Amino acid sequence: MTKPTDRALLGALLRAAGATTASELASAAGLADEAAVRAGVERLSQSDCVIERVGTQGLRLVEAGVGCWADYLETPGGPPVRVYRSIGSTQDAARALAAHDGATVVADEQTKGRGRLGRRWRARAGAGVLMSRVVHGDRPHLPLLAAMAAADAVEPRLGRAVSLKWPNDVHVDGRKLAGVLVESPTPGVSVVGIGFNVATLKDAPAEVRAVATSLADLGVVAHRLAMIEALLAAIDRRLAQDSAATVEAWRQRCINLDRPGRFAVDGRTVVGHVVDLDPDAGLLVRTESGLIAHLPAATTSCLP
């Protein structure tokens, strides 16, 4: 994209529900006339966007390719945005930008991604949202805040509330839709990674489909660029809000509270009933022996 008006036009296409006439696009994007829309569409098409004409109904954005993401997301004088077609880990790339509060890294493909507790996470090209964001300051409950931001971004598209699985996975109908990883490379600096499954998982192994879902499999058509934009806005809103309100909203969505569960912690398995969740310290679980066990967040994971 070479002009600010092209960004406005792309935004109008991203927000449109289906095909939109050139006249409607001109109005939504603040362009002079339909000729300006046609010229903008031509430039967007040269910036990795696929835009099709749908009969007499107008224009429809088929795909906002990664070639236009940086121009769309980065604002003059704002924090840097880095876009990669393929990268080992967006978290590692964001660490290199740790001096810039709000710096964002997104990728089309991730080959050496990681989740909590060193788990490997690979994401094929075009399948999902892969994003890491630098956050400065002493931010309490940041993993919960990030999980709530992910929920905020997806719930309007789903038309219903999602569930959160401790500590920070987004679940729909018992399957994982998105995950969050928060790392602190230096004191006062955090890197928030969020990954969303967007494309269908129908070709994924059965063991993956048993525990995971995607926006496409939930019947939601969403452009990845629109999801990234929504996530960034949701993170900003949550950072500006009172932390206690975010924690309470997280607790209301958490599927682990006051339920039985199995947990892996420090090489052992703990079975019991979750009696409380501490946003920072972890879980309080009444074990089968009747004792209360504290399971720290840093070393605990949920088992099936």
Strand pairing partners for 157? none
Q: Supply the pLDDT for residue 116.
A: 57
Instruction: Please name which of 195, 191, 233 lies closest in space to residue 99, comparing C-alpha atoms.
Output: 191
pLDDT-based confidence at residue 162 (cuts at 50, 70, 90): very high
Collapse the DSSP code of 204 into the 3-class scheme (helix H, G, I; strand E, B; otherwise coil) and give the result: coil
When the pLDDT of each residue in the chain is averaged and rounded to a whole number, the result is: 90
- Answer for the pair 69, 51: CB distance below 8 angstroms, yes or no: no
Could you tell me the pLDDT band of residue 237, with boundaries at 50, 70 and 90?
very high
Measured CA to CA, the distance from residue 241 to residue 149 in angstroms comes to 11
Sign of CA dihedral 125, 130, 132, 133: positive
Query: pLDDT higher for 165 or 166?
Result: 165
Kindly report which listed range (30-34, 45-49, 143-147, 281-285) carries the lowest average pLDDT score. 281-285
Per-residue pLDDT, 217: 95
CA distance 62 to 195: 22
Average pLDDT on 166-177 reads: 89
The dihedral over CA atoms of 144, 145, 146, 151, expressed in degrees to the nearest 10, equals 90
- Please determine, for residue 37, whether its predicted confidence score (pLDDT) is greater than 60: yes
pLDDT digits 0-9 by tens, 117-152: 456 666 678 889 999 999 999 888 898 899 999 999
Confidence bin at 224 (pLDDT 50/70/90): very high
Euclidean distance between CA atoms 185 and 238, whole angstroms? 22
Q: Is the pLDDT of residue 304 over 80?
A: no
